[in-house]
Amino acid sequence: MKITIFGTGYVGLVTGACLADVGHDVLCVDVDADKIARLESGEIPIFEPGLEELVNTNAAAGRLSFTTDAVAAVEFGTLQFIAVGTPPDEDGSADLQYVLAVAETIGRHMNGFKAVVDKSTVPVGTADRVRETIANVLEERGETLDFDVCSNPEFLKEGAAIEDFTHGARFVVGTDSERVRELMRECYAPYIRLQEKLMFMDVRAAELTKYAANAMLATKISFINEIANLAERLGADVEQVRRGIGSDPRIGYHFIYPGCGYGGSCFPKDVRALARTAGEVQYQAQLLEAVEGVNHRQKQTLFEKLERAFDGDLAGRTIALWGLAFKPNTDDMRDAPSRTLMEALWRAGARVQAYDPEAMEECHRLYGDRDDLALVDAREAAVENADALVICTEWKVFRMVDFGWLKQQLGLPVIVDGRNLYDPETVRKAGLLYFAVGRGDSL
Ligand code: NAD
């Protein structure tokens, strides 16, 4: 099939590369000329395991190409995927300007039937707005061309995006058109040979499915963080509690790891956007508001623990940070807990010495050169002459540590572990003060 994809971010690029890899002809379009130039020269603008090879192999085979030319892009595919960003608006609702701009572009340049596929995460009712936008432009043009709009939300997670796309639990497609059902079946046919994973439903149900999935996962994280905070104050070890509850198949082990709060480009904005959608239909989404509130509070805990460790005075201190990305295997720092911590440390007059295996460039892009931030190239360099260490991301490279060596590096010596990576006993035996999340020892 000939497929056009608008947006070459985490979702668009992975979708494009994966669909090309199963034999479709894919044209990816972006308004960011620099991104397209880098992609054309074989450089991948984001870090995602396996993506570079997948993109370059399929580009070399002639199945995957890149352009900034919207006219050519609209002309190219029968399927027109919209995979552009839907960042939060000032009031927390999803900002649809990029999605609707693509709809306008499609309406402006289409010259035959197009099936428009909303892959971006968009509020319920957006497919109707995309349809209206295209219809209005066609009317302006005096054209009566046939088109349809369906919802096909994406469930991949950064860090395992290719695996999620190719072996995910399901492909959800919301449509009431038989023609679109056939086209989407053809598009995803290579992935459903083994097992039927294509789920057709109403457009609005598909749109809500994406938000419901992310809200559920965020709820699990905020729930365990609430229990962790209680455990900390009650002298219980939340890691034991986690194992205890996870063994119940109705609860399960997934997504109940206590930590320093969820971040990334999806959970924070999607929980907020769904609560906002609820408000628009005069429903107060109390649970969603609490999930967000608990997460906001959790992100402050790393700083609060450090502040208490240094008796409220962090001015002039140097704090080592291991991990900047919102989770391992990505360079994405959108809404990352590390940012909440760094910004609080700077306000308190402290210096940060940080290392992350992939997110250093992104961190520099976000904060630029500043005296109170040193981005160093190894975990060892981050702790050199530092007063304390904070772990924000559970990268594998941080899991095994010689605590005797670490004690010699750190001034106080304190570890605040936002990811519960170590056995508290082992760390304490080495003479370090160890403050993890909900491990029965409040600071
Ligand atoms: P992103 O910000 O990484 O990429 C979006 C891209 O769209 C950018 O490259 C931007 O330049 C481009 N763009 C903007 N306007 C355009 C236009 N008019 N024409 C062509 N390109 C345009 O975003 P992302 O993380 O890939 O997310 C895209 C959507 O998918 C969002 O709605 C997000 O909520 C959803 N989603 C993201 C993830 C994830 O893990 N990142 C997972 C599932 C769903």
Q: How many C-beta neighbours within 10 Å does residue 290 have?
A: 15
Averaged pLDDT, 383-392: 97
Number of H helices, E strands in the chain: 17, 14
Q: Is residue 187 annotated as a catalytic residue, yes or no?
A: no
DSSP state of 251: T
What pLDDT was estimated at residue 255?
96
Task: Please identify which of the residues 28, 260, 266, 392 carries the catalytic annotation.
Answer: 266
Averaged pLDDT, 42-68: 97
What pLDDT was estimated at residue 443?
55
Residue pLDDT, tens place only, 219-276: 999 999 999 999 999 999 999 999 999 999 999 999 999 999 999 989 999 999 999 9
Q: Is position 258 annotated in a ligand binding site?
A: yes
Q: How far is the CA of 119 from the centre of ligand 1 (A)?
A: 9
pLDDT level of residue 368 (50, 70, 90 thresholds): very high
- CA dist 315 and 312 (Å) reads 9
Q: Is position 121 annotated in a ligand binding site?
A: yes
- Domain locations in the chain as residue ranges: 2-201, 214-435
Q: Is position 35 annotated in a ligand binding site?
A: yes
Task: Using alpha carbons, list the distances in angstroms from residue 330 to 135, 192, 213.
Answer: 39, 28, 21
Ligand 1 closest atom vs CA 265: 41
Q: Let me know if the fold of 2-201 is the same as that of 214-435.
A: yes
Q: How far is the CA of 362 from the centre of ligand 1 (A)?
A: 17
Averaged pLDDT, 55-63: 98
Residue pLDDT, tens place only, 288-299: 999 999 999 999
Which has the minimum average pLDDT: 159-168, 192-201, 210-219, 406-415? 192-201
Handedness of CA 29, 30, 36, 42 (dihedral sign): negative
Q: Is position 334 annotated in a ligand binding site?
A: yes
Closest Cα to atom 28, ligand 1: which residue? Answer: 85
The CATH architecture of the domain made up of 214-435 is 3-Layer(aba) Sandwich (3.40)
Q: Give residue ranges with CB within 6 A of ligand 1.
A: 6-12, 29-32, 35, 83-86, 98, 101-102, 120-121, 154, 156-158, 265-266
Among 390, 419, 442, 424, smallest CA distance to 229 is for: 442
The CATH class that applies to domain 2-201 reads alpha beta
Pocket test for ligand 1, best of 8, 35, 84 (most atoms within 8 A of CB): 84
